[in-house]
Amino acid sequence: MQFVEANGVKIPAIGLGTSELRRRTCARIVEQALKLGYRHIDTAQAYDNEREVGEGLRASGVRRDDVFVTTKVWTTHFAPHELERSTKESLVKLRMPEVDLLLLHWPNPQALTETMGALAHAKQIGLAKHIGVSNFTVALIEEAVKVCPEPLVCDQVEYHPYLDQTKVREACARHHLALVAYSPVAKGRIKNDQILKEIGRAHGKTPAQICLRWLMQQNVCAIPRTSRVERLSENIDVFDFTLSEAEMDQIFGLASTNGRLTDFGFAPKWD
């Protein structure tokens, strides 16, 4: 397994995102993913599947200490006491004493200082080994790093070939944060992309595998989501080839000004 290092923390480069996975499907996919070699599982309060993630981990037979588990606090739980309470509730569902990484799911600029302090407190009292943010803009990364009493280790954002995240990548690099990419295969939209198919043919790989390798070569963690066991095997089979500089540039060239697939009305404007 390849790792991305951020502020002294090693995060597995390929993980399983569990958004939209529910009930037994979620538990089964998590179990199979871990048996195949995945060691990074991403969930969230908003996904309503933390309990099933925990079940899948225990069913896999993989030791808890060998798995990097991330969960995220939803925006309605950002007040200090509420953040602590909801995180403890997440741990009860997961049946874990702590998570490896606790994130703020979406930014809340109006309460940034207060919320970052609460997030740091969750780490200080042992609810999480590490803390970070998700969907933060460049400006919000700068502010969060400045006001947070504990070091942050990542910003989790949408990132795929159709969305230029250069500014966010550079901000993360400045502060030694890992960039974690959700929707790394653009929710399946890349499967018919002719450039990705052509590059894939040269390596005997699928467009999805090309996307994931492209992210890995930028030192980005990818957390693709799937409900199909066969896709799990495909997504993790990206360690046996390397994209050339020219191929990387070709993929960077796919980005457009309207490539974003996920957004919420309360989210601030992106940089």
| The one catalytic residue among 47, 159, 162, 182 | 47
Instruction: Decide if 116 contacts 147 (C-beta within 8 A).
Output: yes
Angle formed at CA 188 by CA 178 and CA 262, multiple of 5 degrees: 60
Instruction: Decide if 188 contacts 243 (C-beta within 8 A).
Output: no
Query: Is residue 47 among the annotated active site residues?
Result: yes
- Give me the DSSP letters along 104-149: ESS--GGGHHHHHHHHHHHHHTTSEEEEEEES--HHHHHHHHHH-S
Tokens 């700068």 sit on residue: 142
- Residue 128, φ and ψ in degrees, nearest 5: -150, 140
Sign of the CA dihedral running 71, 69, 179, 130: positive
CA dihedral 178, 182, 188, 191 (to 10 degrees): 0
Q: Which DSSP helix (H) or strand (E) runs through 209?
A: helix 207-216
- Residue 265, φ and ψ in degrees, nearest 5: -60, -30
Cα gap 129→64, rounded to integer Å: 14
Give me the residues paired with residue 163 across strands.
256
Catalytic residues: 47
